[in-house]
Structure 1
């Protein structure tokens, strides 16, 4: 390589970096960088098409065309993203006072088999939204037709709606509710989405415009998704969905193309009735419904604020199932309502919906990207044919400008490298989803994403990881051939320029594959309810003594608090039960589970709530959800290098979590017991139990599912008969092992305590 080459490369890097840093301050610089990003990538693709398609044989020629096609499709997606990001857009808030009169609002909480404690928090939060009581009605729409849910709804003052069948799944459920209610505005909430107190105050005013058909707020998740959680990277990267929910939806709003995402949305009832209700016949009714509501010059609005929070998929396998459903649903929508053919959509609306559908083909595109260097290094099948210097000259500015432009446009909600990791991890599964749905039209059942998963040990998802293991095995074979080529007299590769390109390429892919393999190692989840960090001053009482305390975190079932006092540690260690009051929470009974702290004058304790009344539960929901600080909007990718992710994973894997130490205090037993599930009684053997849960062994039970509420009764007096929720199930031969978490109060006592 001559000096001139390096001068050109260095000049390219300097210009791009200067533009990137100045773009943070000046709009003109931002526009130049984005324009340059599109121009240099277009030049790269023209060069690729003209100079690099291999002509060494028909197989290499086909491989070259396929690889170029994937890069061209990626470029089209880059154009759309640049259009969305060219001019930042944010809706102005319209207060309720702008409405001539406040409309009646019906809130629909759609459910099928979600745990009742999850439903309870959503129902209570919906009833506590700030809005005139006579104009707000909350309904739980139960497609599971559960008598216990009906009783719970009645006790909370919530309407209960069910129907004889389950036609059209969630969409059919919502349409049935439309026929039984009459509010002018309809709000849809998923069973796990908990609205803040100001949800209606921040959204409803947008209906001052008579043409607005629906208003969408983002789905925000208060738990770590599998990428964050399994990599021990919760504080370094945002939820994988934040990029779409916050950045892309806001960009689409400028073109009246906001996508309805199934929850956290408000609809004008008349607009829904005009299109025949929620769209049916597809498994992603939300996308179709939103698109149909944007025809005929109707308007939609996106309010980019954290107004409701919910649960992201808690296991990697569940995340893949959810994305499989979304992928198939988008293709189904295209077949039934092709955005290019529907009357009443604008050019930009058609473009954005088609781009959204094209996105789900990333699995196919990424698999081509993964297989191309393997084909060359193992089978000598070329996907491109270029000199190394020329490739660097065209590719480097395209790659660097993509990194910088993407970081600028995403507001640090995503990086190109992490996008590569996410896509590589999901690619094998999404490729199968696309191929089977687009060409085989395989029907799948609508499945609700499991919530409230709990397990007490690490699990390696062997079945999920098979594609990564196969691709990594091929990578090792390929690199072994490279070593043989360079260390022996054998010449396995004729074109060393192409060889260097593919070595870099395969290592780049291997890093993402290893991270995908790491995500497949499920971390233990010891808690059935997520803890929320708080900072509340309060008091804790026991043994006739009251001391000031600070509440550090809360869930519906437990608390961690800190006491600063010369005798804090000894006092907390001596007492077993406390009464806690903090903020709006008064007189909560806490059973101590652990005490920690190195200094006598400063100690922390954790405990489990007992006999929680309705008013106390409402106060907990108020603190944790309704009046929570918005810590989610400002989350960005910070110290998020892939190297740091590797380091944190291996460091975190070595440590025994504090929750494991606290929950390891289990009594080993061999006790006969009975399980009552859906009015069927099974014989069981309890193998161990603690204050929070137990592990039992059952023979030939196939009807128990994670999330089921079970009444467990022991044959000995010291075993606490109680209702429990199934957290995990393992099959070992003819025996089934079931892990259960005791509920904080039995279903029967719920009714008495909240009536």
Structure 2
């Protein structure tokens, strides 16, 4: 078996995520309150005293977009308001007694590893890691390799690692259909879901099974940790590559100023730390964290009871009385333990959180218990993001959970915050292009960029920035902001496809290095950034020519926002380029001092 690119990252250890301290939480709440107050004052001033009568349509459109953006801020603040970790409990040897099915002396646990077209070099370490998982006392562990590619090489690999191999004749239902097939050919009380690259840590079960002592817990989700994220390149390395004979004093100056900063670290904005340690962890206070598929463990009873309930439209008591024997359920047509959808994990979470009577609970375990591979090219990144966006938008338009019967109002607000971010495709383009419109026409969205504007605008921005810094626990917010703008063309494409009735597809995220098609996926960002740059030049020219309405304040403010927007748009192409040149031979090390070489391994 050939050596895989990720083998050089095996030494990396997972991070530990401490809880938010009481002092930091109090400071975050104080700054969030300030932000809400300043936001209310700004919007009141915006609608009552700042609309530009000379460009009323444009001014009202921008003010509306700002108001919708403010509503998203309020929902996001609710989503991340407070941490509420579920107390950990040791894995119980008699945990099956906490289910409503016939108790058994042995708790059976199945590990499902799903694969479609991934190579043996990706799947083999995953099987080895599953084999090394510690099995608690009085538990029986069985590993299943669910191959939707029906490949003999995978069957041989499963046999080599002592796993049961399952495949099927069709790929109906994508990953959800693959999991359904596995559930119908297994009988474990609990099911661990792994993607082809999800390598469980040995104590995965010891650290997650204990939560199921609460009989209402349906699943436990653990964080995704991408252990192969590139470290990036320092400024001195980049300078030495493109100007190897530059003066020594210049290299030393660059080294002193930027020695520790790395460019193109996580070039494809894949690090999910903020999502898991801030958003998912804080949704857990209301048992509202949703399933993210890989590195999660599920109670079989909850999966089938919810599926039967959704299919038969009966009440909960009737669903409990239905036979959940996998052999018999295999012939029950239309049953979807995991909903057949490109976002099967999110869709199934919505169904479980909507069970009337006694809702199933989800638990978020805050520490990584597995490691995974990140997208290694712009093509892989865009494929993944388009899939996420298309699945979420399809749920919004056709299976909206906000008005679903049986869901608690707290859960509704959490899901509203999740889906509202995808709806921003309606107003983010307007905010993105508003500075360009002003520089082209000389029309501003406010009467004037006066002292009154800055007195209302700047306190709100500063308070919000401080609140976000305190709430993020030191995690970088830059990537999230870049992601919201860099993925805008993908979001628009996904919405257009879903609105036209195209069902979102489930292409597996490539796990191999790829550069050939990167530029095709990055072309929209580059073209839009180029258009904004040309508009900036037009605006400067019109100001220098003394055109009416082209004041210095209008020029400076809109150039600032135009530059900011271009920076966000170019983040992904720039990082992709640096990542690509970082793979080539590094002859520039010959020009570095010993200290500089140490900073550029």
Q: Which bracket does the TM-score occupy, shorter chain normalised?
A: 0.7 to 0.9
Q: Given the alignment of the two structures, is residue 105 of structure 1 paired with residue 109 of structure 2, yes or no?
A: yes
Q: Deviations over 1:197-234 (max 9, x none)?
A: 000110011000111111111111111179999x7343
Name the counterpart of 1:431: 492
Q: Given the alignment of the two structures, is residue 448 of structure 1 paired with residue 508 of structure 2, yes or no?
A: yes
Q: Deviations over 1:63-88 (max 9, x none)?
A: 33332333223222322332344333
Q: Deviations over 1:535-571 (max 9, x none)?
A: xxxxxxxxxxxxxxxxxxxxxxxxxxxxxxxxxxxxx
Equivalent residues, number: 500
Taking the TM superposition and a 5 Å limit, the aligned residue runs for 1:168-207 are 168-207=173-212
Alpha-carbon distance in structure 1 between the residues aligned to 2:64 and 2:221: 35
Q: Deviations over 1:463-522 (max 9, x none)?
A: 23332333333333333233334434x325355544443222212222223334313426
Alpha-carbon distance in structure 1 between the residues aligned to 2:576 and 2:586: 26
Q: Deviations over 1:338-383 (max 9, x none)?
A: 2123222110101111221111234443322221111111134543
Q: Given the alignment of the two structures, is residue 509 of structure 1 paired with residue 574 of structure 2, yes or no?
A: no
Name the counterpart of 1:87: 82
Verify the 8 A CA contact 1:283 1:446 in the aligned structure 2. Answer: yes
Verify the 8 A CA contact 2:218 2:360 in the aligned structure 1. Answer: yes
Name the counterpart of 2:42: 44
Verify the 8 A CA contact 1:460 1:522 in the aligned structure 2. Answer: no
Distance 1:63 1:168, change over 3 A: farther
Q: Given the alignment of the two structures, is residue 384 of structure 1 paired with residue 446 of structure 2, yes or no?
A: yes
Distance 1:661 1:405, change over 3 A: same
Distance 1:321 1:510, change over 3 A: same
Q: Give secondary structure in 2 for the equivalent of 1:105.
A: strand
CA apart distance, 1:332: 1.8
As a proportion of its length, which structure holds more strand?
1
Verify the 8 A CA contact 1:199 1:308 in the aligned structure 2. Answer: yes
Q: Give secondary structure in 2 for the equivalent of 1:344.
A: coil
Verify the 8 A CA contact 1:315 1:522 in the aligned structure 2. Answer: no
Name the counterpart of 2:4: none
Name the counterpart of 2:326: none
CA apart distance, 1:662: 9.1
Name the counterpart of 1:697: none
Q: Which of residues 504, 507, 520 is equivalent to 1:463?
A: 520
Verify the 8 A CA contact 2:125 2:199 in the aligned structure 1. Answer: yes
Distance 1:103 1:381, change over 3 A: farther
Q: Given the alignment of the two structures, is residue 153 of structure 1 paired with residue 153 of structure 2, yes or no?
A: no
Q: Which of residues 463, 470, 484 is equivalent to 1:408?
A: 470
Q: Given the alignment of the two structures, is residue 125 of structure 1 paired with residue 122 of structure 2, yes or no?
A: no
Tell me which moved more, 499-508 or 173-182: 499-508
CA apart distance, 1:425: 1.3
Verify the 8 A CA contact 1:214 1:268 in the aligned structure 2. Answer: yes
Verify the 8 A CA contact 1:107 1:139 in the aligned structure 2. Answer: yes
Name the counterpart of 2:52: 54
Name the counterpart of 1:519: 575
Alpha-carbon distance in structure 2 between the residues aligned to 1:331 and 1:109: 27
CA apart distance, 1:50: 2.0
Distance 1:412 1:233, change over 3 A: farther
CA apart distance, 1:103: 1.9
Q: Which of residues 468, 473, 497 is equivalent to 2:530?
A: 473
Name the counterpart of 1:252: 283
Distance 1:236 1:285, change over 3 A: closer
Name the counterpart of 1:73: 68
Distance 1:427 1:256, change over 3 A: same
Alpha-carbon distance in structure 1 between the residues aligned to 2:497 and 2:503: 9
Q: Which of residues 356, 362, 370 is equivalent to 2:432?
A: 370
Q: Deviations over 1:276-326 (max 9, x none)?
A: 243434211010111211233211100011100101111122211211111
Name the counterpart of 1:539: none
Name the counterpart of 1:354: 416
Q: What's the RMSD between the two structures over aligned residues?
A: 2.9
Q: TM-score, normalised by structure 2?
A: 0.77
Q: Give secondary structure in 2 for the equivalent of 1:523.
A: helix
Structure 1: runs of 5 or more not aligned: 1-22, 525-656, 664-755
CA apart distance, 1:446: 1.5
Alpha-carbon distance in structure 1 between the residues aligned to 2:117 and 2:418: 30
Distance 1:429 1:121, change over 3 A: same
Tell me which moved more, 238-247 or 367-376: 238-247
Alpha-carbon distance in structure 2 between the residues aligned to 1:93 and 1:353: 25
Q: Given the alignment of the two structures, is residue 318 of structure 1 paired with residue 380 of structure 2, yes or no?
A: yes
CA apart distance, 1:107: 0.8
Name the counterpart of 2:18: none
Verify the 8 A CA contact 2:270 2:375 in the aligned structure 1. Answer: no
Verify the 8 A CA contact 1:461 1:521 in the aligned structure 2. Answer: no
Verify the 8 A CA contact 1:226 1:313 in the aligned structure 2. Answer: no
CA apart distance, 1:331: 1.8
Distance 1:27 1:160, change over 3 A: closer
Alpha-carbon distance in structure 2 between the residues aligned to 1:112 and 1:235: 26
Q: Which of residues 74, 80, 91 is equivalent to 1:96?
A: 91
Q: Given the alignment of the two structures, is residue 289 of structure 1 paired with residue 348 of structure 2, yes or no?
A: yes
Q: Give secondary structure in 1 for the equivalent of 2:415.
A: helix
Verify the 8 A CA contact 1:225 1:314 in the aligned structure 2. Answer: no
**Greater relative contact order structure (CA < 8 Å, 6+ sep):** 2
Q: Given the alignment of the two structures, is residue 115 of structure 1 paired with residue 119 of structure 2, yes or no?
A: yes
Structure 2: runs of 5 or more not aligned: 1-20, 97-105, 235-261, 308-335, 588-601
Alpha-carbon distance in structure 2 between the residues aligned to 1:317 and 1:659: 17
Distance 1:100 1:160, change over 3 A: closer
Verify the 8 A CA contact 1:216 1:301 in the aligned structure 2. Answer: yes
CA apart distance, 1:48: 1.6
Verify the 8 A CA contact 1:139 1:158 in the aligned structure 2. Answer: yes
Verify the 8 A CA contact 1:387 1:497 in the aligned structure 2. Answer: yes
CA apart distance, 1:90: 1.9
Alpha-carbon distance in structure 2 between the residues aligned to 1:100 and 1:263: 22
